[in-house]
Amino acid sequence: MNFTSIQNIDFLDKWVKQALKIKKKPLKNKKLGKNKTLVMLFFNSSLRTRLSTQKAAINLGMNVMVMNFGSEGWTLEYEDGAIMNQGASEHIKEAAAVVSQYADIIAIRAFAGLTDKEKDNAETVLSGFLKHATVPIVNMESATGHPLQSLADAITMAEHKTQHRPKVVLTWAPHPRALPQAVPNSFVEMMQLQDADFVITHPEGYELNPKITKDSKIEYDQDKAFENADFIYAKNWSNYKEYGQITNSDPNWTVTADKMKLTNNAKFMHCLPVRRNVIVTDEVIDSENSIVIEQANNRTYAAQVVLQKILKNGK
Amino acid sequence: MNFTSIQNIDFLDKWVKQALKIKKKPLKNKKLGKNKTLVMLFFNSSLRTRLSTQKAAINLGMNVMVMNFGSEGWTLEYEDGAIMNQGASEHIKEAAAVVSQYADIIAIRAFAGLTDKEKDNAETVLSGFLKHATVPIVNMESATGHPLQSLADAITMAEHKTQHRPKVVLTWAPHPRALPQAVPNSFVEMMQLQDADFVITHPEGYELNPKITKDSKIEYDQDKAFENADFIYAKNWSNYKEYGQITNSDPNWTVTADKMKLTNNAKFMHCLPVRRNVIVTDEVIDSENSIVIEQANNRTYAAQVVLQKILKNGK
Amino acid sequence: MNFTSIQNIDFLDKWVKQALKIKKKPLKNKKLGKNKTLVMLFFNSSLRTRLSTQKAAINLGMNVMVMNFGSEGWTLEYEDGAIMNQGASEHIKEAAAVVSQYADIIAIRAFAGLTDKEKDNAETVLSGFLKHATVPIVNMESATGHPLQSLADAITMAEHKTQHRPKVVLTWAPHPRALPQAVPNSFVEMMQLQDADFVITHPEGYELNPKITKDSKIEYDQDKAFENADFIYAKNWSNYKEYGQITNSDPNWTVTADKMKLTNNAKFMHCLPVRRNVIVTDEVIDSENSIVIEQANNRTYAAQVVLQKILKNGK
């Protein structure tokens, strides 16, 4: 089995329960990964994902080998039939097949380039590995999804929800740099598997890929969206229609204490790293209702439930 | 407990004895670190510190996860209340709290910038982690101190001293690049805990921070300082008053064989890396009296005594 | 013992047999490397070598510490007596002696610079470590040789040869960038230890170092060389006489299906990474006769037989 998308989760509730069990006894399955090797390939920088995924593997007794393509490696070619007389020195066909021989599981981080919508939607890097690798693949954030993050989010919400069907709001917030849609995409897909009153709020024109949002509710009035919310999940993303552009940086979308007052004493969530006083004010993120640190903690258990399932199920 | 400064050493003699015991049987406490994780965060490049600290952790049976902020990560914000719409993508508050969740001990290397004296003296990075991390912190060289190095120096001197109260001379020497004061600072603080005739010698104007040197003896005449010395510890540092500047590059301060003749057959020490024939001549560093390689070897045992104490004492 | 050149192999047949034995049970000697540490030093980027050598060490139960000099370290000085007031901040004398204290084996990757023939032939980095390190050295590709690759090639040929004395052809092929001679050099030296009909083919003027090729047969007509071949080993290298230059980029040297028809149904080999449709056409490398992925797989067992021998024989 692979874990490249929220779609790979069969029963989200079950996965969340297993993760919470793992969280209580993280070393219980330390023998499961014995003599198994996780190779982590980074095409982009990483802090939380790097450390939490590695920690999860260590908790399972796995060996970990890390490869940073940026500083330690080279550019790959993804196109079939390419005449490789330019920058790329290796084709994904060889790279994926070769690394598979040294690994029991390959985990990959490769962000959206945000310049070529079609290429990003095609998930060039991840798809290349899926096609040509011979071992299971784990997505550590790809061009269009970050399912390990959203699984950690689901775990965190399960720990903090006080009613069966909470109101969960994903709110866009401004950011000085153009960011991918990977995190909101996977969050939306994950919420679609949950029993919740789920609302997405963002400025008009900032609609995510409609193939992902499907019939999820969109509310352009942030205040209205916040009303009675149990969870506020803030995240910036760049424009999907005017692909990769920043067409709005309205500070009125920053999550403030005043806005949080509209909610049902909502918990504040963010995947981190977060720009303080741009995405959210200090007052909100430093409040008791902020659960961003716990979200990051749960990254380990999200990764561990995924690795554990792969180790148990094999390819 | 943390280990961020020489001040964290309660009884230097005892630590040195423990380190020498560890040196004889480095794997004796291999079970102590089982299932414990050291996260090493590098904001600056490193060879000795990187490998010796990692080796120490491995000797104690710990897992090690390494993160290079330069090539793998991003810029952190340290100021409270900052509106983060510039370069920094994450606040130390989140970074430290998050990494703490993946680590049992965090070790940090973050050099002085040498442009803003106040900022360097405030130890922005190290203090940020001390304040916001929830696990013990180890200093792998900060803006103003390098206590793991000085502890290794103390171990090395203990191995090589031939009399109870040796004369120890810290001598400035020229260098083509502006270097931090971290190593000499910690060496001075460490010597202040020892029973020794300790003398600092450097050109006038190159005084270290007087809050650190306190009443340690300063002798501007290098020849006079060298007389009867048992240990010559050479090190360059940039000007502290005219902060971070190179105001002197006088080759007469290079440690030569002629100067070593003034001593009591002194051992030659340097923390490495060393610029040969600039800091010290080949003749001296290649002589039998040079103990620079052993100093580097003892870095492992200095780190190991520190990690061992933290693992035993906990937070 | 060191492993820096094909010359370090006493009986190639025996080594190949041992590697094939290891390949069947890679974890059989997991206790051999217990509490032993391999330090891998990279002065150049690496994918296969990085992961396969690390995997080999893990299979033997060793600890591995990785150091990337490019992104994590600094420039070394190799000249005796140098006045180090320029870029280099540490002399090989100290670097090698110090790292030896943290390592049981040091593995090094340092490519040819391709600008100074004499310096490359002197193997500045590798020789420096050989001279000043106090533990065994393994060559992970140096200026003039890549013996781990050639040992893996020998293993792969042993697995695929169908007759006692196969015809093996090393063919030059074009490439957009100037590449070192390390791989062909070691391949030639390895073939000289084998009972085979060995032919080197390349454009006139592209002769490798005659001290290496010795009396190995050279055939300038690629078609003629391919006739009846059992193995075609393709590889680009830059001009050795007009050192490091690209004086030929003739696409007629690309290995095509038509050319493979001249052979005795030959296996196609390449050390990877390979430029598709420049070195070799898709048709050939994607054919059943291509064994490039298996070559890369055998890198692990080549490294493992080397590390195993060093661990058993000691220094």
Q: How far does Cα A286 stand from its chain's mean position?
A: 23
Distance of CA C98 to CAs B273, B294, C93, C94, Å? 10, 8, 9, 6
CB B153 within 8 A of CB B166: no
Cβ of C74 within 8 Å of Cβ of B282? The answer is: no
pLDDT of residue B71: 60
Whether omega for the bond prior to residue A136 falls within 30 degrees of 0, making it cis, is no
Task: Give the list of residues 6+ apart from residue A182 with CB closer than 8 angstroms, or none.
Answer: A111, A112, A141, A142, A143, A144, A145, A146
**Which amino acid makes up residue B71?**
S
How far is B66 from C66, CA to CA, in rounded Å?
Answer: 10
Is position B33 within any domain?
yes
Q: Indicate whether B74 pLDDT > 80.
A: no
CB C296 within 8 A of CB C49: no
Burial (CB count <10 Å: 0-12, 13-18, 19+), residue A236: buried
Give the nearest partner residue to C90 out of B55, B70, B273, using CB atoms.
Answer: B273
Residue C175: other Cβ atoms inside 10 A: 21
Determine the average pLDDT of the residues in A103-121.
Answer: 96
pLDDT of residue A107: 98
CA-only gyration radius of chain B, Å: 19
Tell me how many residue pairs between chain B and chain C have CB atoms under 8 A apart: 86
| Residue A89 forms contact with C (CB below 8 Å) | yes
CB B54 within 8 A of CB C101: no
Name which of B102, B106, B135 to mutate to probe chain A: the one with the most chain A Cβ atoms within 10 A of its Cβ.
B102
- φ and ψ of C278, to 5 deg: -125, -55
In A, minimum Cα distance to C72 occurs at A71
How far is B284 from C123, CA to CA, in rounded Å?
Answer: 27
Residues of A in contact with B91 (CB under 8 A): 274, 276
**Which amino acid makes up residue B44?**
N
pLDDT of residue B309: 97
Q: Which residue would you say has higher pLDDT here, C12 or C46?
A: C12
pLDDT of residue C3: 98
| Residue A300 forms contact with B (CB below 8 Å) | yes
Nearest alpha carbon to residue A203 among A134, A151, A249, A145: A249
| Residue A70 forms contact with B (CB below 8 Å) | yes
Question: Within this chain, do residues A155 and A288 fall inside the same structural domain, yes or no?
Answer: yes
pLDDT of residue C125: 95
Cβ of B51 within 8 Å of Cβ of C67? The answer is: yes
Is residue B269 helix, strand or coil? strand
The pLDDT tens digits for A7-53 are 999 999 999 999 999 999 999 999 999 999 999 999 998 999 999 99
Annotated binding site of B: 46-49, 74, 109, 141, 146-149, 175, 235, 271-272, 275, 299
Neighbors of chain C with 3 or more C-beta pairs under 8 Å: A, B
Residue C139: other Cβ atoms inside 10 A: 28
Cβ of C74 within 8 Å of Cβ of B275? The answer is: no
- φ and ψ of A201, to 5 deg: -130, 135
How far is C19 from A155, CA to CA, in rounded Å?
Answer: 46
Per DSSP, B167 falls in state E
Q: Indicate whether C73 pLDDT > 90.
A: no
Residues of B in contact with A51 (CB under 8 A): 39, 65, 67, 99, 102-103
Distance of CA C104 to CAs A83, B51, C39, C220, Å? 44, 13, 8, 45
Cβ of B85 within 8 Å of Cβ of A48? The answer is: no
pLDDT of residue B122: 97
Burial (CB count <10 Å: 0-12, 13-18, 19+), residue B71: middle
Determine the average pLDDT of the residues in C179-183.
Answer: 98
Q: Indicate whether C79 pLDDT > 70.
A: yes
Tally the domains of chain A.
2
Instruction: Tell whether the torsion through CA atoms of C18, C56, C136 and C145 is positive or negative.
Output: positive
In A, minimum Cα distance to B85 occurs at A176
Domain that holds residue B42: 6-145+299-313
How far is A263 from A302, CA to CA, in rounded Å?
Answer: 28
Q: Indicate whether A315 pLDDT > 70.
A: no
Question: Within this chain, do residues B20 and B140 fall inside the same structural domain, yes or no?
Answer: yes
| Residue A192 forms contact with C (CB below 8 Å) | no
Per DSSP, C251 falls in state G
Determine the average pLDDT of the residues in C6-12.
Answer: 97
Q: Indicate whether A72 pLDDT > 60.
A: no
Give the nearest partner residue to C84 out of B272, B275, B297, using CB atoms.
Answer: B275
pLDDT of residue B69: 83
Q: Indicate whether C202 pLDDT > 60.
A: yes
In A, minimum Cα distance to C28 occurs at A35
Is position C1 within any domain?
no
The pLDDT tens digits for C125-155 are 999 999 999 999 999 999 999 999 999 999 9
pLDDT tier at A284, thresholds 50, 70, 90 = very high
pLDDT of residue C71: 59
pLDDT of residue C311: 98
Is residue C140 helix, strand or coil? coil
Give the nearest partner residue to B73 out of A47, A54, A177, using CB atoms.
Answer: A47
Cβ of A67 within 8 Å of Cβ of C50? The answer is: yes
Question: Within this chain, do residues C80 and C192 fall inside the same structural domain, yes or no?
Answer: no
Is residue B299 helix, strand or coil? helix
Question: Within this chain, do residues A124 and A164 fall inside the same structural domain, yes or no?
Answer: no
Which stretches of C126-264 are assigned E, i.e. beta strand? 137-139, 167-172, 197-201, 217-218, 231-235
The pLDDT tens digits for B26-60 are 999 999 999 999 999 999 989 999 999 999 999 99
Q: Is C176 annotated as a binding residue?
A: no
Residue C7: other Cβ atoms inside 10 A: 12
Question: Within this chain, do residues C195 and C255 fall inside the same structural domain, yes or no?
Answer: yes
Distance of CA B39 to CAs B50, B257, B308, Å? 11, 43, 15
In C, minimum Cα distance to B179 occurs at C89
Question: Within this chain, do residues C308 and C276 fall inside the same structural domain, yes or no?
Answer: no
Question: Within this chain, do residues A111 and A159 fall inside the same structural domain, yes or no?
Answer: no
pLDDT of residue A45: 87
Q: Indicate whether B189 pLDDT > 80.
A: yes
Tell me how many residue pairs between chain A and chain B have CB atoms under 8 A apart: 85
| Residue C91 forms contact with B (CB below 8 Å) | yes
The string over A269-305, giving b where at least 16 C-beta atoms fall within 10 Å of a residue's C-beta and e elsewhere, is bbbbbbbbbbbbbbebbeeebbbbbbbbbbbbbbbbb
- φ and ψ of C74, to 5 deg: -155, 175
Residue C268 falls in which region: left (phi positive, over 0), alpha (psi -120 to 50) or beta: beta
How far is C57 from C308, CA to CA, in rounded Å?
Answer: 9
DSSP secondary structure of A63-126: EEEEEEHHHHS-PEE-STT----SS--EEHHHHHHHHHHH-SEEEEE----SS-HHHHHTTHHH
Question: Within this chain, do residues C176 and C84 fall inside the same structural domain, yes or no?
Answer: no
Residue A172: other Cβ atoms inside 10 A: 21
Q: Is C149 annotated as a binding residue?
A: yes
The pLDDT tens digits for C109-122 are 999 999 999 999 99
How far is B117 from B40, CA to CA, in rounded Å?
Answer: 26
In C7-46, the residues whose Cβ lies within 8 Å of chain B are 35, 37, 39
Residue C192: other Cβ atoms inside 10 A: 16
Question: Within this chain, do residues A126 and A161 fall inside the same structural domain, yes or no?
Answer: no
Distance of CA A86 to CAs A9, B3, C145, C177, C235, Å? 39, 50, 26, 9, 17
Is position B88 within any domain?
yes
Nearest alpha carbon to residue C54 among C71, C34, C69, C37: C37
The continuous run of DSSP H or E covering B48 comes out as helix B48-59
The pLDDT tens digits for A233-281 are 999 999 999 999 999 999 999 999 999 999 999 999 999 999 999 999 9
Nearest alpha carbon to residue A171 among A274, A36, A69: A274
Instruction: Tell whether the torsion through CA atoms of C277, C280, C284 and C287 is positive or negative.
Output: negative
Question: Within this chain, do residues B29 and B97 fall inside the same structural domain, yes or no?
Answer: yes
In percent, how much of chain B has pLDDT > 90?
A: 95
Residues of C in contact with B55 (CB under 8 A): 37, 65, 102
Cβ of A47 within 8 Å of Cβ of B74? The answer is: yes
Residues of C in contact with B27 (CB under 8 A): 35
Question: Within this chain, do residues B110 and B209 fall inside the same structural domain, yes or no?
Answer: no
In C, minimum Cα distance to A85 occurs at C176
Name which of B98, B100, B131 to mutate to probe chain A: the one with the most chain A Cβ atoms within 10 A of its Cβ.
B98
Nearest alpha carbon to residue C191 among C137, C142, C230: C230
**Which amino acid makes up residue A222?**
Q
Cβ of A85 within 8 Å of Cβ of C272? The answer is: no
Nearest alpha carbon to residue C291 among C233, C237, C248: C233
CA angle at residue A200 from A250 to A238, to 5 degrees? Answer: 45
Mean pLDDT of chain A: 96
Tell me how many residue pairs between chain A and chain C have CB atoms under 8 A apart: 85
pLDDT of residue C277: 97
Q: Is A172 annotated as a binding residue?
A: no
CA–CA min distance A47, chain B (Å): 6
Q: Is A146 annotated as a binding residue?
A: yes
Residues of C in contact with A84 (CB under 8 A): 275-278
Is position B1 within any domain?
no
Is position A92 within any domain?
yes
The pLDDT tens digits for C207-245 are 999 999 999 999 999 999 999 999 999 999 999 999 999
CA angle at residue A210 from A205 to A215, to 5 degrees? Answer: 110
CA–CA min distance A262, chain B (Å): 24
Question: Within this chain, do residues C205 and C266 fall inside the same structural domain, yes or no?
Answer: yes
The pLDDT tens digits for B134-176 are 999 999 999 999 999 999 999 999 999 999 999 999 999 999 9
Is position A157 within any domain?
yes
Mean pLDDT of chain B: 96
Task: Give the list of residues 6+ apart from residue A73 with CB closer than 8 angstroms, or none.
Answer: A67, C45, C46, C47
Is position A49 within any domain?
yes
CB A139 within 8 A of CB A108: yes
Name which of B29, B47, B71 to mutate to probe chain C: the one with the most chain C Cβ atoms within 10 A of its Cβ.
B47
CB C178 within 8 A of CB C245: yes
CA-only gyration radius of chain A, Å: 19
Give the nearest partner residue to B98 out of A30, A70, A272, using CB atoms.
Answer: A272
CA–CA min distance C6, chain B (Å): 29
CA angle at residue B170 from B167 to B176, to 5 degrees? Answer: 155
Residues of B in contact with A274 (CB under 8 A): 90-91, 94
CB B170 within 8 A of CB B201: yes
How far is A184 from B276, CA to CA, in rounded Å?
Answer: 55
pLDDT tier at A73, thresholds 50, 70, 90 = low
Task: Give the list of residues 6+ apart from residue C235 with CB closer than 8 angstroms, or none.
Answer: C170, C171, C172, C173, C183, C184, C187, C270, C271, C279
Is position A1 within any domain?
no
Cβ of B296 within 8 Å of Cβ of C86? The answer is: no
- Spatial strand order in the sheet of B105-109: B63-68, B37-42, B105-109, B137-139
How far is A188 from A179, CA to CA, in rounded Å?
Answer: 17
Looking up residue C226, the CATH number of its domain turns out to be: 3.40.50.1370
In percent, how much of chain A has pLDDT > 90?
A: 95
CA-only gyration radius of chain C, Å: 19
CB A147 within 8 A of CB A5: yes
pLDDT of residue A71: 60
Cβ of C278 within 8 Å of Cβ of A85? The answer is: yes
Residue B246 falls in which region: left (phi positive, over 0), alpha (psi -120 to 50) or beta: beta
Q: Which two tokens stand for residue B131?
A: 């304040």
In percent, how much of chain C has pLDDT > 90?
A: 95
pLDDT of residue B73: 53
Give the nearest partner residue to A51 out of B77, B83, B99, using CB atoms.
Answer: B99
Cβ of B37 within 8 Å of Cβ of A46? The answer is: no
Residues of A in contact with C52 (CB under 8 A): 102
- φ and ψ of C67, to 5 deg: -130, 120
pLDDT of residue C69: 83
CA–CA min distance A278, chain B (Å): 6
How far is B244 from B112, CA to CA, in rounded Å?
Answer: 9
Cβ of C272 within 8 Å of Cβ of A90? The answer is: yes
CB B41 within 8 A of CB B92: no
pLDDT of residue C74: 73
